Structure 1
């Protein structure tokens, strides 16, 4: 298996410029989405979960009623990598296609 390369703070900042609402906090990129209700939030989480499996990359996330918090980092690299930004863009696409 190919080793993934941990991004520098500068690389992370550059990539974050391509995403709306994501921040670099404590070694991960994170964001929060708010939905109409729990059912809508959970529906989107389910769609995201299938993409996570397809990419073999899984977020640290939490859901309280209509709010979804997502944190991405690559545990194998002990930091943020290209995999995190690929998944973040996929999540953005899912959110945009839903609303």
Structure 2
């Protein structure tokens, strides 16, 4: 929350009353979370088709931790995703989480 986007998000959240917070939540869900989840689901579906991911890897509980990690880094922490970090995240997090049994 120390980044510029994180500070802005905190400011908005602290200023919202209950009706405004509901509208704000709807904007975030419809404009950020749902499209991101669908894009991630499409990518993981390709892994399922190739046999690189479990058949249930496109479920919301399987995708939520990946989405949370991505949003934390890109929105709250304000960090870039260097290629090495991205590759390590796939190898250390996504493959064990989504890969077929025994991978």
**Shared fold per TM-score greater than 0.5:** no
Structure in which a larger fraction of residues adopt strand: 1
TM-score norm. by structure 1 comes to 0.30
TM-score norm. by structure 2 comes to 0.29
Structure in which a larger fraction of residues adopt helix: 2
